[in-house]
Amino acid sequence: MTITNQETATQTLTHFIGGEMIAGKSERFGKVYNPSTGEVTALCPLASREEVNEAVEIAQKAFPAWKNTSVAKRVEVIFNFRNLLVEKTDCLANIIGLENGKTISDAKGEVLRGIEAVDFALNAPHLLKGEYSINVGGKINSYSIKQPLGVVAAISPFNFPVMVPLAMTMMAVACGNAVILKPSERVPNSALFISELWKKAGLPDGIWTVINGDKEAVDTLLANPKVHAISFVGSTRVAEYVYHEGTRHNKRVAAFGGGKNHMVIMPDADLDQAVTAFLGAAYGSASQRCMAISVAMPVGKGTAEAFVEKLKTRVEELKVGAYDDADADFGAVISQESKETVIRYINESLSEGAQLCVDGRHPEINEKEKGYYLGATLLTGVTTEMKIYQDEVFGPARIVVGVNSLDEAIQLINDHEYGNGVTIFTENGAAARRFTEQIEVGMVGVNVPIPIPVGYHNFGGWKNSRFGEGQMFGPDTVRFFTKTKTISERWNDTKDIVNKTEFSFPSNQ
């Protein structure tokens, strides 16, 4: 997985191509940091256009044999892979923590959610079944089959180095495709570790490829005509770019972007439950989740005052710390640049009139620690005109926006450019029903803090949170990674043969 440079004692990582760890040839590298300490832990190779295209060729050559492998055999390999994931959960969690900064307990939870996607892929024999109709007309039988696309690519983000790549790729493998994963260059080790598990599980060489890189690698995958589909998760700006570039090159693209997820708190809600739910959903993983709750939206002045009073104390108690600190509620953000961006949003909102309820800009951290730490920040008095409300803020700065009614809450949420996730806390079934029916958001919760679907339901936002019609979890992943072929056939007995030209549809006979 790594090559050690004896002069600098720096680990130089590799790609995984054709079943082997392959050193990069481009002589370009990106630094990989430990967010908890700020130290450089490795150098990640940034693939050239030639390296990416070579990897695609190797995957293309491996594809036909995997396509023709029985689905039962494919599932056997996936089951072996699942067992290895379970066995190596602690190792994976430690790798995630080192490179992403999230706590070990949070990282273990990520691995378990990723295994949900593996479990769903084990259902491939059922999900790949086609349709069959007898005698649609003129003694013709008609049936459909699902066939893999060929080489497909997944471009994954830094915030979920294991869960998202598994969610993006498991059904692609199960359907018989050859998969190329381009992980975030900030967190490459998880993908390389997973590659070793695939090898041990018995996946044929070339069916799973990890190519590390930056925009050059992404653009090459988008342009290569032998890559038939792209699944992407990242910022909305890049998601839109990937979608337009990919479809311009006639690819099937599902590009998942950012979110600004609201939690509506009704006057009849259990405020203690709502506060507890908000804490985990808002600040978990240092708020570096596309499904993190960004905005608390209490309905009515009394609700807002009571909610903030309870919430303030709980937020002040949250502890930020190193990924392996068992007492930490969340860890560092991914980079110094990210930390500075979050602080800038906080400062700008204060200049625009927001009030600082809890200040997490300068957390008390051991002076020896050089990591990218931000404590939990809570801002009140935020209005919809402020940038901190309009933009996705990928860090632990959360806001409270008060409204006077449920209708006002629905309107504000529907007016926002993002439509990833939303939730409402209420004891009123009628209010919940009206909310779930009228809200223009892809994933909706009722008394559920983060409405991420389980692995066998579809995952996908609306509006500028997703480009394309693909899903990440669920049955739509089968449709995304396959193409349907419909076959009509007739087998005549000798006595049925009529040498007569037909001009009508057989179904009319």
418 has which bridge partners? Answer: 463
The CA distance from 216 to 180, in Å, is 15
Query: Helix, strand, coil: what percent of the chain each, to 5?
Result: 40, 25, 35
Phi, psi of 234, deg, nearest 5: 175, -155
Structure tokens at 239: 């998601």
Phi, psi of 349, deg, nearest 5: -65, -35
290 is catalytic: yes
Environment class of 304 (CB within 10 Å of its CB; exposed 0-12, middle 13-18, buried 19+)? buried
DSSP string, 329-398: SB---S-HHHHHHHHHHHHHHHHTT-EEEE--SS----TT--S-----EEEES--TTSHHHHS---SSEE
Strand 151-155 to 418-419 pairing: unpaired
Amino acid in position 40:
V
CB atoms within 10 A of CB 466: 26
CA 487 vs. chain centroid, Å, equals: 36
> DSSP class of residue 452?
P
The CA distance from 287 to 307, in Å, is 20
| CA-based nearest residue to 89, from 75, 110, 103 | 110
Rg (CA), the chain: 25
CB atoms within 10 A of CB 497: 8
For residue 316, the surrounding DSSP H or E stretch is helix 301-317
Active-site option among 44, 91, 175, 290: 290
DSSP string, 229-279: EEEEES-HHHHHHHHHHHHHTT-EEEEE----EEEEE-TTS-HHHHHHHHH
The strands making up 293-298's β-sheet, listed across from edge to edge, are: 355-358, 377-380, 397-400, 293-298, 261-265, 421-425, 443-446
The CA distance from 134 to 150, in Å, is 30
Catalytic positions: 290
